[in-house]
A and B are shown apart, each in its own frame.
Chain A
Amino acid sequence: MAPAAHPDTHAPLSAEQISHALEQWLEVEFTFIQVDALAASIASLPREDQDFLLGWVRRIATTNIQIAHQFALRAISQLAHMDRRMIEAWALHAMDTYDRAGSSPAFKVINELDNFAQLSHEHAAGALFEEVGGILLTFVRGLSGRHLKLEKGEATYTDSETLFLPAVVAQMREAADNFKLCKAMVALLWAQTRFGTFRINLNEALSTYPDSVKALKQFHALETLRLEACIGRELPGLYREMQRLKTETGVSLPAGWEHHAADLARPEASVADSLRLLERVYPGATPDAVCYQGELRIDAVAASIATRVEREKMLLRVKLAQELEKQTIETRRDAPNFDVKQVANDHNDLPRLEITLDDAPIAPPEGVNQLLTSIFLDLGEIPPEYLVPAGPGEYDASLLEEKSQDPDTVWQGTYHEEGASLYPEWDFGRQHYRKNWCVLREREVTPLNDGFTQQTLDKHSGLVKHLRRTFEAMRDENRLLKREPSGDEVDIDALIEALADARDGREMNDRLFMRMHRSERNIAVMFMVDMSGSTRGWINDAERESLVLLCETLELLGDRYAIYGFSGTTRKRCEIFRVKSFDEPYGETVQRRIAGISPQEYTRMGVAIRHLSAILNEVDARTKLLITLSDGKPDDYHDGYRGKYGIEDTRMALIEAKRSGIHPFCITIDTEGRDYLPHMYGAVNYTVIGDVKELPLKVADIYRKLTR
């Protein structure tokens, strides 16, 4: 690329050099974008800014040229005002939006920079959702009440189940204060769910006012006062921070509101008091929103409550019915009498709710406590009709749990993402992940009963014997270690020798004990088998034969292992085929599934590695291996996975796996593999097998060497 090739790395680039680079990236030949003016204005920047800006233009251009162009035009003027981190976040947000929603929303992000971040000053150092989201989610989960979710949204609001924060919060000058502001926002939204803002029907309550927008604003301001006081009682440290932020941003209450604030600060004040005061303040002025106030979206809340209340009522009744079944009371004549007792508690705390059956407390079934809390937060009580155990067939099972769908039926509709796992993918052009880019489904291999296993064992009987012998020697069994300096038992032989030595006047050996050595071989291995179309024929046969031999030998070793195949077409249809999971025993079903492994479509490797690493990481083992059997480079149909993109994504997925403590290894029959495998797996973590026929022999042998 032109800028990088320039010999002097400190001198600013000339307009000519810049326009040359831009012409290339923006494909001026086809797009007819005029770059001269743009290049001239970039040329006037210092070199550091030039590199930063051009780097991002190049990266965005790999996603969409028009967005890259617009970004360049707007970013020049922003360089002086915005923190670099913020510009990066802005560019990434635009690309994410492009991935998710297409070009016109992405243009909107690029063009409406002011919407992206509320900037009230120069050099904003904002808190980015990506950076603070994780901490704040844990923070809010630690607070009492419903199990809330935290997501990136276009504004600060909650639907009473999920809290939404904007991509960037940058009102404050200091980064630390912006983080504090985010924390205050999250806490206030939490307080809305926790202290009953949504316990009344707000749509109804506010509809009596002629100007419902104004009424909502005023109600929101009153509720914020009330909730601040609640936070003050519950979380005094945070309350002090909130007061400070409020003073710094300089918001003051209209005349007469101090009195209302004091009224709402009473511990027993509830949402009804806010509504009562609303009547009084409605004719007057509306106070400015406090910096952490966010928005009150009562429609979103109403929608979420409507579905939740039904679901939770049913869920509780079903759980109670299940509980009743467990009690196995044979001769129950009268109806079961469930009740909920509030265990007395402080005014501030959520009451502890205890379920009783016929006045005797019962241990709450799993998840019921959380459910009771959630219901209590919505309704302020557990109504008696919630405590009637559900009769058989009385409920709609689909209400209860988001059930995972049968992958095969899902495919019949096109591209439904329901019930699938979403994985990110590394875009090397962008130098960033594309979020939720791959849609992956786990399926089972259709077993095939054609005696393949037996044929393979017969065909390779000599090899099987050899492998058995070598692998048996590797078995790390419990064995008695003799002549140890300490141990459970006295080694009589050693003792007699030592005593004889002592009689002779020689030095007495002190290694006189025996100790049991216990097997410590603690290995879990995941085999990831290429099921792409290119394996059709010989390669597929060789793969299946290798797997049979492997299973036979691994059973001897006692290592835990799993076998999965992978294939797919495009990012929307990535598939993982389960041949053997970790806890499934090796038997006829697995053998038939191995026989049933058949070539499918393409090789999108990155997502397969990510999914299988996740499975492997759930296993508790000291050594975790991910072994790939493959016949070539990563490849996929249509969306540019072939070539460098695929290799870089696969490499990144392998780096992620390594970071989580997995050792990846690749066995391939692609003789060109030496060109790209060292880059992907590292210099020593792969083997190229020249002859397909050798595969069955080699795979077991390589495994032996790897785990020695």
Chain B
Amino acid sequence: MQARALTTEEYFVESEPYYEATGDEIAIFEAAYQNKLPVLLKGPTGCGKTRFMEYMAWRLKRPLITVSCHDDLTASDLVGRFLIKGGETVWVDGPLARAVRAGAICYLDEIVEARKDAIVVIHPLADDRRVLPMEKLGTLLQANDDFCLAISYNPGYQSVLKDLKQSTRQRFVALEFDYPSADLERKIVAKESGVDTALAEKLVKFAHMTRNLKGSGLDEGASTRLLVHAGKLISSGVEPIAACRSAIAQAITDDAEMLAAVRELSSSIF
């Protein structure tokens, strides 16, 4: 595919993304969308939250604007700011304001990483007012009827300092995501990476081993995404043990002893 530039509100998901439902999350999201309720996606990294959002954007035929939140993200980064062009100040909308105007789905990934002012600015959007205060313009932006706000949050590893406040979380319909069941995960890995079912099963088994280690030296076990990466390497002819080391073990830890142990686990399976 050739690279091309799109404005954010033109980004429609054109072909159906591969997504396997693990429960009733699709129906709930649709119902929330029809009722103009914002949605909170909870779950560990790499278990399909972002893919779910792409799938829903495709299903609802709305543009998807994704903002990955980082610890320097301020309210201005979301709402917009004045810039100077040719001696004049010009207002430029931020991604959230664009989504509100265009009736897009705005997905704020890892919302707790953002600064507090950025988290608070979504409050009036997330209740029945559905307005975005544009403080610097002195205006309120009433959301387009098609607009939808979704945020994601990983309760697992973030520090206590970065917990989502009750005043924020209690505005959302929450969907919990977890790693899919072994059968489903096997299916996903096989489909996404092109390895056969037997190999996918081994990869899933390996992932479960690393997930057993959560809390005894690992912050997080191998995610479905990492399994897909490993599967893709294997499909391209990389040895399974080497693929697991590069795509999974090295990705989840830097600790030499943990790496050695994880390698022993993978060499036991393959």
Asked if B213 contacts A141 (CB within 8 A), the reply is: yes
A490 to B89, CA, bound (A): 8
For chain A, which range describes its interface: under 10, 10 to 19, 20 to 34, or 35 or more residues? 20 to 34
Which of A72-80, A164-172, A231-239, A604-612 participates in binding chain B? A231-239
Contact assessment for A142 and B210 in the assembled complex, using a CB-CB cutoff below 8 Å: yes
Interface 0/1 of B227-270, CB less than 8 Å to A: 00000000000000100000000000000011011101111111
Are the C-beta atoms of A141 and B182 separated by less than 8 Å?
Answer: no
Q: Is B191 an interface residue (CB 8 A)?
A: no
Asked if B23 is at the interface of the complex by the 8 Å CB criterion, the answer is: no
* A143→B266 CA distance, assembly (Å): 11
In this assembly, does B102 line the interface, its C-beta being within 8 Å of a C-beta of chain A? no
B268 adjacent to A235 (CB under 8 Å): yes
Q: Which of A470-520 contact B (CB under 8 A)?
A: 488-490, 495, 499, 502, 512, 516
Which residue of the partner chain B has the closest CB to A348?
B205
Q: A135-B257, A138-B257, A489-B76 are in contact. Are A236 and B82 (CB under 8 A)?
A: no
| Contact among A137, A235, A499, A620 with B159 in the assembled complex (CB-CB below 8 Å) | A620
Q: Is A144 an interface residue (CB 8 A)?
A: yes
Asked whether, in the complex, the Cβ of A142 is within 8 Å of the Cβ of B87, the reply is no
With contact pairs A183-B264, A237-B269 given, residues A142 and B74 touching in the complex (Cβ less than 8 Å)? no
Residues in A neighbouring B261, C-beta threshold 8 A: 134-139, 142
Query: Closest CB-CB distance, A307 to chain B, in whole Å?
Result: 23
Query: Once the chains are docked, how many angstroms separate the CA of A495 from the CA of B264?
Result: 63
Would A138 and B258 count as touching, CB distance under 8 A?
A: yes
Instruction: List chain A residues, Cβ under 8 A from B174.
Output: none
A344 to chain B, nearest CB (A): 10
- The interface residues of chain A, by DSSP majority, are classed as helix
| Partner of B212 from A143, A346, A495, A502 at Cβ < 8 Å | A143
Which residue of the partner chain A has the closest CB to B212? A142
| Contact call B82/A489, Cβ cutoff below 8 A | yes
A142 pairs with B84, CB closer than 8 A: no
The complex places the Cα of A490 from the Cα of B91 at a distance, in Å, of 11
Residues of chain A within 8 A of B216, CB atoms compared: 138, 141
Q: Are A135's CB and B260's CB within 8 A?
A: yes
Instruction: Provide the residues of chain A in CB contact with B182, threshold 8 Å.
Output: 345-346, 349
Chain A residues near B267 (CB-CB < 8 A): 237-238, 241
**CB-defined interface of A235-262 with B at 8 Å, one 1/0 digit per residue?**
1111001000000000000000000000
B138 within 8 A of A: no
- B208 and A235 form a contact (CB under 8 A): no
B81 at interface by CB-CB < 8 Å: yes
In the complex, B70 has a CB within 8 A of chain A: no
A549, CB-defined interface residue at 8 Å:
no
Q: Is the CB of A490 within 8 A of B84?
A: yes
Q: Does B13 contact A (CB under 8 A)?
A: no
Q: For residue B206, give the distance in angstroms from its CB to the closest CB of chain A.
A: 9
From known contacts A139-B264, A187-B268, infer whether A489 and B212 are also in contact, taking CB-CB under 8 Å. no
Q: How far is the CA of A623 from the CA of B208 in the complex (A)?
A: 36
**Residue tally, chain B, CB below 8 Å to A:** 32
CA distance A183 to B217 in the complex (A): 19
B84 engages A502 (CB within 8 Å): no
- Whether, in the assembled complex, B26 has its beta carbon less than 8 Å from a beta carbon of chain A, the answer is no
Taking a contact as CB atoms under 8 Å apart, the answer to whether A139 and B265 are in contact is yes
Chain A residues, CB < 8 A from B241:
237
A444 CB to nearest B CB, Å: 24
Residue B164 CB within 8 A of the other chain: no
With both chains docked as a complex, state the minimum distance between the C-beta of A362 and any C-beta of chain B, in angstroms. 15
Decide if B136 is an interface residue (CB 8 Å cutoff): yes
Which of B81, B161, B213 meets A138, CB within 8 Å? B213
Q: Does B269 lie within 8 Å of A141, measured CB to CB? A: no
Q: Are B76 and A236 in contact (CB under 8 A)?
A: no
> Restricting to A110-144, which residues have a CB under 8 Å from any CB of B?
134-139, 141-144
- State whether the Cβ of B209 lies closer than 8 Å to any Cβ in chain A: yes
* Chain A residues with CB under 8 A of B159: 620
> Which residues of chain A from 616 to 649 have a CB within 8 Å of any chain B CB?
620
Near B by CB (< 8 A), chain A positions 183-210 give: 183, 187
CB-nearest residue of chain A to B209: A142
A135 surroundings in chain B (CB, below 8 A): 257, 260-261, 264
From A142, A183, A499, give the contact of B262 (CB < 8 A): A142
Q: Which residue in chain B gives the minimum CB-CB distance to A144?
A: B212
CB < 8 Å: which of B74, B84, B209 contacts A143? B209
A142-B212, A349-B182 given; A502·B268 CB < 8 A: no
Task: Kindly supply a per-residue 1/0 record for chain B positions 67-90, scoring 1 wherever the CB is within 8 Å of any chain A CB and 0 otherwise.
Answer: 000000010100001111001010
Partner of A142, one of B76, B83, B161, B265: B265
Once bound together, how far apart are the Cα atoms of A136 and B76, in whole Å? 51
Residue of B nearest to A143 (CB): B209
A489 touching B136 in the complex, CB below 8 Å, given contacts A235-B269, A237-B270: yes
Closest to A134 in B: B257
> Separation in Å of the B142 CB from the closest CB of chain A?
24
Q: Complex formed: what's the CA distance from A388 to B207 in Å?
A: 35
Kindly state the separation between the CA atoms of A336 and B14 in the bound complex, as whole angstroms: 51
Residues from chain B with a CB closer than 8 A to the CB of A346 are 182
Q: What 0/1 pattern do residues 329 to 366 of A give for CB contact below 8 A with B?
A: 00000000000000001100100000000000000000
Proximity bits, B136-160, A CB within 8 Å = 1, else 0: 1000000000000000000000010
Q: Which residues of A contact B260 (CB under 8 A)?
A: 135
> Can you name 14 A-B residue pairings with CB atoms under 8 Å?
A135-B257, A135-B260, A136-B264, A138-B257, A138-B258, A138-B261, A138-B262, A139-B261, A139-B265, A143-B212, A187-B268, A235-B269, A238-B268, A512-B84
Closest 5 pairs (CB-CB, A-B): A138-B261, A238-B268, A142-B209, A235-B268, A488-B76
